[in-house]
Structure 1
Amino acid sequence: MMSIKDNLLEVKDLRVSFQTYAGEVQAVRGVSFSLKKGEVLAIVGESGCGKSVTAQTLMRLIPTPPSYIKSGSILFDGKMDITKLSNKQMEKIRGSEIGMIFQDPMTSLNPTMKVGDQITEGLIKHEGLRKKAAMEKAIEILKLVGINSPEGRIHQYPHELSGGMRQRVMIAIALACSPKLLIADEPTTALDVTIQAQIIDLMKTISEKTDSSIILITHDLGVVADMARRVVVMYAGKIVEQGTVDEIFYDPQHPYTWGLLRSVPRLDTNSNDELVPIPGTPPDLFAPPKGCAFAARCPYAMNHCLEEDPEHTTLSETHSSACWLLHPDAPKVERPVGVGGHQHV
């Protein structure tokens, strides 16, 4: 078993809000998780659940104002709290220690700069390489991410490349300075299915070759099953369940996780089975409910769920869930057919 010293990242009770003309939006509400060295961790949930805000906060990329970190800590590599660093200190970390792969390369890449110049920018800034040496390394990195004829590609602009190639360039930029942590924010969203599979395989290979830790932000559970070792499930700015991939897919304990699993197609069931969407909409984070945030959409909700937010129940060393159904006095319910092992909780 790994000790706390093996953790590359420890996020504790992170709370992030946005101040707007209408009031405070509580986007992230007490998130805590850790990431081990060389591990791939997926953060999943519906749009607006706080997963991208969490990821961007790790890089300190959310604009301040209107956003601000209310409380909590982000301990990176056991030696620095990212929440307490200045912008100048963060500039030294972004790209060199932590890299980020954004979901839309067409808007994330600079359309006025050639691909090679965008990759070498970090190498020149963080590693002090001269232009020629930086270009040589850029060509090596483009080869690593599977781009053919990289000697020619470095002289092209983003609009001259396909969507899959642009995403590979984004990965190359993130990898340029060999960061310890890669954050991939919906890295396959804008790509077709064939290219998605190639990008997933590429990221798995990179993780194995470079021993980088990866945080994968996605709503695609297929990508999660293929890449991650552990999964964090977020809802309404909070973590409602976390565990290993096997625990989340085969022994899920939170009704929201059940809903996510029922709303995606599966290869091991009848192809005529209808997908079951989660009814209702997420709560307004201007005024989050005092009880469980999922209670209004949960078919198993009890009166107590509306009044008090549940604490996390520890189910194993790696698995926990915040649901009142796990309380000893709660009525026993059966998971929906087709979710996990279909057993009582």
Structure 2
Amino acid sequence: MNKGDRLLDVKDLKVSFRTYAGEVQAVRGVTFHLNKGEVLAIVGESGCGKSVTAQTLMRLIPTPPSYIKSGSILFEGKTDIVKLSNRQMEKIRGSEMGMIFQDPMTSLNPTMKIGEQITEGLIKHRGLKKKAAVQKAIELLKLVGINSPEGRIHQYPHELSGGMRQRVMIAIALACSPKLLIADEPTTALDVTIQAQIIDLMKSISEKTESSIIVITHDLGVVADMAQRVVVMYAGKIVEQGTVDEIFYDPQHPYTWGLLRSVPRLDTNSDEELIPIPGTPPDLFAPPKGCAFAARCPYAMKACLEEDPEHTPLSETHSAACWLLHPDAPKVERPVQIGGHQHV
């Protein structure tokens, strides 16, 4: 795939927060790309920097206390999001990029009817008249699988169930046919059956509208069922990235192994215990000088504590940042429990 097929190119992105205690280095030199029409998943534990990365793509992080230290976010090969003013960003946000937040109850305005919240962007960004915007809102509610949309547009968020509110959030994000849709933990607040419906809905939307989607999640079941490529983040950095099959069947970083071993497998009858990753992530006030995962890694060597490894390319699409991939490193046998994925 050539660079002309890329919708987004993120290079060496660093984002920090100024606090009374000092600088928190939330995102520490992240580089990845997103192709047109692709679903990319960014996975990792809470606090690894995945949500800050996603919100920075749309310039939604509060400034101050946050600030972008360095890097570029190239949209459609020409617009650097980092350099845009707030006014320029407002034109892109909602029309070119849409976001689905984790908790629709806190993201929807409780004092506005559903219809008003969907038509707002259509009137502002697409210049539609009220009547045409209402008609479009009804079509969007049908698209996201809400019954009797003509009546629903007159309801308030508290009158809908959690799953329906999340569908409304998706309808708002889709209203202006954005080229990029960012979904930040879109199924966390939902029960399992509704989760599966929302995942199916987002997959069909990606196919119908040809929009690119970035899914931020810690749920590897969501990843297996939705994404084509995966970025694994730890302590503000990318430690591994590759296609879904490369990450699930041929993972190369011990942190990725740990994530996969701590997820229940539904495709085997064994009574294997889930193995949690011991320890806690490092303090991002003062990140370690070596590999951030070294303190929790059973395979850590002296080099891991002293110097951060570079990414080693493993294929055109797969790379990992681990000293175990160095030609002089000892050969390590990968844990047997990992590999394979179960569809939600």
The equivalent of 1:95 in structure 2 is: 94
Structure 2: how far apart are the matches of 1:340 and 1:290?
31
Alpha-carbon offset, residue 340 of structure 1: 2.8
The equivalent of 1:293 in structure 2 is: 292
Q: Is 2:44 the partner of 1:45?
A: yes
- The one-letter amino acid of 2:109's match is N
Structure 2: how far apart are the matches of 1:145 and 1:23?
44
| CA displacement, residues 173-204 of structure 1 (integer Å, 9 cap, x when unaligned) | 00000000000000000000000000000000
SS state of the match for residue 283, structure 1? coil
Count of equivalent residues: 340
Alpha-carbon offset, residue 268 of structure 1: 2.4
Structure 1 stretches of 4+ moved >2 Å? 268-271
The equivalent of 2:137 in structure 1 is: 138
Q: Is 2:291 the partner of 1:255?
A: no
The equivalent of 1:233 in structure 2 is: 232
SS state of the match for residue 88, structure 2? helix
The equivalent of 1:176 in structure 2 is: 175
The equivalent of 1:204 in structure 2 is: 203
The equivalent of 1:276 in structure 2 is: 275
The equivalent of 1:124 in structure 2 is: 123
Alpha-carbon offset, residue 322 of structure 1: 0.1
Structure 2: how far apart are the matches of 1:77 and 1:126?
19
Q: What TM-score do the two structures reach when normalised by structure 2?
A: 0.98
Alpha-carbon offset, residue 328 of structure 1: 0.3
- The one-letter amino acid of 1:148's match is N
Identity of aligned residues (%): 90
Structure 1: how far apart are the matches of 2:268 and 2:295?
29
Q: Is 2:154 the partner of 1:161?
A: no
SS state of the match for residue 195, structure 1? helix
SS state of the match for residue 207, structure 1? helix
| CA displacement, residues 53-92 of structure 1 (integer Å, 9 cap, x when unaligned) | 0000000000000000000000001120000000000000
Q: What TM-score do the two structures reach when normalised by structure 1?
A: 0.98
Structure 2: how far apart are the matches of 1:321 and 1:123?
42
Structure 2: how far apart are the matches of 1:78 and 1:326?
32
The equivalent of 2:60 in structure 1 is: 61
The equivalent of 2:4 in structure 1 is: 5
SS state of the match for residue 54, structure 2? helix
The equivalent of 2:316 in structure 1 is: 317
The equivalent of 2:213 in structure 1 is: 214
Structure 1: how far apart are the matches of 2:316 and 2:267?
29
Structure 2: how far apart are the matches of 1:334 and 1:272?
22
The equivalent of 1:77 in structure 2 is: 76
The equivalent of 1:15 in structure 2 is: 14
Structure 1: how far apart are the matches of 2:73 and 2:332?
37
Structure 1: how far apart are the matches of 2:222 and 2:300?
30
The equivalent of 1:152 in structure 2 is: 151
SS state of the match for residue 16, structure 2? strand
Structure 2: how far apart are the matches of 1:190 and 1:244?
27
The equivalent of 1:108 in structure 2 is: 107
- The one-letter amino acid of 1:176's match is A
Q: Is 2:243 the partner of 1:244?
A: yes
SS state of the match for residue 115, structure 2? helix
Structure 2: how far apart are the matches of 1:110 and 1:135?
18
| CA displacement, residues 1-46 of structure 1 (integer Å, 9 cap, x when unaligned) | x101110000000000000000000000000000000000000000
- Across the aligned residues of Structure 1 and Structure 2, the Cα RMSD in angstroms comes to 0.7
Structure 2: how far apart are the matches of 1:31 and 1:292?
15
Structure 1: how far apart are the matches of 2:246 and 2:275?
21
Structure 1: how far apart are the matches of 2:82 and 2:193?
39
Structure 2: how far apart are the matches of 1:332 and 1:90?
49
Alpha-carbon offset, residue 271 of structure 1: 4.5
Structure 2: how far apart are the matches of 1:271 and 1:29?
39
Structure 2: how far apart are the matches of 1:22 and 1:91?
32
- The one-letter amino acid of 2:325's match is L
Structure 1: how far apart are the matches of 2:210 and 2:91?
21
| CA displacement, residues 136-174 of structure 1 (integer Å, 9 cap, x when unaligned) | 000000000000000000000000000000000000000
- The one-letter amino acid of 1:300's match is Y
Alpha-carbon offset, residue 269 of structure 1: 2.7
SS state of the match for residue 223, structure 1? helix
